[in-house]
Amino acid sequence: MQLDLDSLNALLTAAKKLDAGFANLPTFTPQIPGAARLNEVLAETAARLQDNYPYFHPLYAGQMLKPPHPVARLAYALAMFINPNNHALDGGRATSTLEKEAVAEIAAMFGWQNFLGHLTGGGTMANLEALWVAGQLAPGKKIIASEQAHYTHHRISSVLQLDFESIPVDSHARMDLNALEARLVAQNDIGTVVVTMGTTATGSVDPLPEILKLRDRYNFRIHADAAYGGYFTLAQNLAPPTAAAFAKISEADSFVIDPHKHGLQPYGCGCVLFRDPSVGRLYKHDSPYTYFTAAELHLGEISLECSRPGAAAAALWATQKLLPLQKSGEFAIGLEQGREAALSLHKKLAAGDKFIPTFEPELDIVIFVPRPKSQTTSLTEISAASRRIFDSAATKNLHLALAELPVAFFQNLLASTHRDKPTITTLRSVLMKPEHAQWLDQIHEILSSVW
Ligand SMILES: Cc1ncc(COP(=O)(O)O)c(C=O)c1O
């Protein structure tokens, strides 16, 4: 974990400053039940928390996980001394303002000045709000997303009782435009197309510019799920079609971006934004309990969730203060490093004789399988070998992930491979920490030693 004592000291200094703001109150003795055993229980908690993969370390190169920035961790901890609730100004005055400022900065990253948006508990909740609004604007019409879209869209649609359909993907895991158009032509029943700006499994980006052209012809709503990929709009080392897709997010009707994925935030921080602020009318409700202290809009009046951590807003605001969301800024460079690391690992794997990667990564996810050691093998055998490599690499501290993916994503499998099932178990590596770029040789060395 490489505990940084300086940052704990910074927290102490900031906590004293926060405390000074309440110095005019009469002193009181807080009642803390169980205080005598606090250290003991905290130590026990630390021991229990040791049962985790080392997500913070560069050799953790598996799932979409990275540590929050220290300023986010500290600002979150600082705000916890107050524990504000961003549902209403009554519960979180300062952090509601911080949320509005931080969300406006996210919107500005996509060129939006006039919009409706707020933080959520995560990407699922943010997507749920977007599809809830979409469903109200096009009652009785369907939601469609690609077969590689996050599973949450299908489930959310069923929660909202909206019909859902999947559209096939091409060999690069992007929504297949011909299949989409064929579906739009077949029947005039599509209300919203969910466009994934970075799929969870492979980091593939749906062709948003072409889907926008279809919108002109067939009139549907576009919701961009940029939960994982959204921040890559700041990266300047994307392939031209990927960069062109990110440049068009501003033309979507709504989008979701997760600060708790690539935005250096602790979990509990998603964000949903709508291009047309007037959709706020769809949220309208009365609360007899909460909305008394100000004529100003409370965040709870434009979100489905009620209580939400103001600490998440403080953490995000502080992070964006330290690392503004700008092209060529330190934050953007971190994203570019991840993309560079993914490209380099892909190249190394393709150049060697031990592994077969899929298509070139669009963002920072690399997918590969072990190259079979004999001419005649089956997808079942390759899948089993992927699982063995996953386990053996972990014994050498290299932690990868597994993904079950269509065999069509592998254009360079041997012709003699027996295709005994439609999918193949692959190794998956999300290289989302800037440090990954310096650790590629070690990662590659360990991989080569286990196959
Ligand atoms: C593209 C995409 N959408 C939605 C989600 C769901 O987000 P959350 O896990 O924050 O609910 C994920 C999670 O990985 C994702 O990658």
The three-state DSSP-derived secondary structure of the chain is: CCCCHHHHHHHHHHHHHHHHCCCCCCCCCCCCCCHHHHHHHHHHHHHHHCCCCCCCCCCECCCCCCCCCHHHHHHHHHHHCCCCECCCCCCCHHHHHHHHHHHHHHHHHCCCCCCEEEEECCHHHHHHHHHHHHHHHCCCCEEEEECCCCCHHHHHHHHCCCCEEEECECCCCCECHHHHHHHHHHCCCEEEEEEEECCCCCCCECCHHHHHHHHHHHCCEEEEEECCCHHHHHCCCCCHHHHHHHCCHHHCCEEEECCCCCCCCCCCCEEEEECCHHHHHHHCCCCCCCCCCCCCCCHHHHCCCCCCEHHHHHHHHHHHHHCCCCCCCHHHHHHHHHHHHHHHHHHHHHHCCCEEECCCCCCCEEEEEECCCCCCCEHHHHHHHHHHHHHHHHHCCCECEEEEEEHHHCCCCCCCCECCCCEEEEEEEECCCHHHHHHHHHHHHHHHHCC
Q: Residue 234's pLDDT band (boundaries 50, 70, 90)?
A: very high
CA of 267 from ligand 1 middle (Å) equals: 12
Task: Give residue 87 CA to ligand 1 midpoint distance, Å.
Answer: 23
Mutate to test the pocket of ligand 1, among 131, 199, 204, 261 (most ligand atoms within 8 A of CB): 261
- Whether 344 shows a pLDDT value over 90: the answer reads yes
> How do residues 380-398 score in pLDDT, each as one tens digit?
999 999 999 999 999 999 9
Output the residue whose Cα is nearest ligand 1's atom 8. 123
Atom of ligand 1 nearest to the CA of 126: 11
pLDDT at 82: 97
Q: How far is the CA of 258 from the centre of ligand 1 (A)?
A: 8
Residue nearest to atom 5 of ligand 1 (CA): 123
Does the pTM of the predicted model rise above 0.75?
A: yes
Banded model confidence at residue 284, pLDDT cuts 50, 70, 90: confident
Q: Which pLDDT belongs to residue 290?
A: 61
- The CA 131 to ligand 1 mean position distance, Å, reads 14
Q: Report the separation in Å between the CA atom of 126 and the middle of ligand 1, taken as the mean of its atom positions.
A: 9
Residue 1, pLDDT score: 79
What is the position in ligand 1's atom list of the atom closest to the CA of 149? 1
Task: Answer whether residue 292 shows pLDDT above 70.
Answer: no
Q: Which ligand 1 atom is the nearest neighbour of the CA of 125? A: 11
Higher pLDDT, 278 or 293: 278
Nearest ligand 1 atom to alpha carbon 261: 10
CA of 219 to the centre of ligand 1 (A): 27
- pLDDT at residue 75 above 80? yes
Q: What is the pLDDT of residues 87-135, one digit of tens each?
A: 988 889 999 999 999 999 999 999 999 999 999 999 999 999 999 999 9
pLDDT for residue 4: 83
User: Could you tell me the pLDDT band of residue 53, with boundaries at 50, 70 and 90?
Assistant: very high
Q: What is the mean pLDDT of residues 272-277?
A: 96
Q: Name the residue at shortest CA distance from atom 7 of ligand 1.
A: 123
Which residue ranges have their beta carbon within 6 Å of ligand 1? 64, 122-124, 127, 150, 152, 196, 200, 225, 227-228, 258, 270
Percent of the chain beyond pLDDT 70? Answer: 97
152 C-alpha to ligand 1 centroid (Å) = 8
Average pLDDT of the residues of the chain: 95
pLDDT of residue 297: 67
pLDDT of 431 strictly over 90: yes
Chain position carrying tokens 């202290």? 293
Q: CA torsion, points 80, 83, 88, 94, in degrees to nearest 10?
A: -50
pLDDT band (50, 70, 90) for residue 145: very high
pLDDT value for 215 = 98
Residue 406 alpha carbon to ligand 1 centre in Å: 20
- For residues 357-366, give the mean pLDDT: 98
Q: Which band of pLDDT confidence, cut at 50, 70 and 90, is reported for residue 402?
A: very high
pLDDT-derived band at 236, boundaries 50, 70, 90: very high
Q: Does residue 315 carry a pLDDT above 80?
A: yes
**How confident is residue 376, by pLDDT bands cut at 50, 70 and 90?**
confident
Give the distance (Å) from ligand 1 centre to CA of residue 366. 18
For a substitution probing ligand 1, which of 258, 265, 364 has the most ligand atoms within 8 Å of its CB? 258
Give the atom of ligand 1 at the shortest distance from the alpha carbon of 197.
1
**Binning pLDDT at 50, 70 and 90, where does residue 296 land?**
low
User: What average pLDDT does range 252-273 have in this prediction?
Assistant: 98
Query: Predicted confidence band at 192 (pLDDT cuts at 50, 70, 90)?
Result: very high
Atom of ligand 1 nearest to the CA of 122: 10
Instruction: Please tell me the least confidently modeled range out of 347-351, 415-419, 428-432.
Output: 415-419
Rounded mean pLDDT of 272-294? 80
CA of 390 to the centre of ligand 1 (A): 23
d(CA 205, CA 199): 7
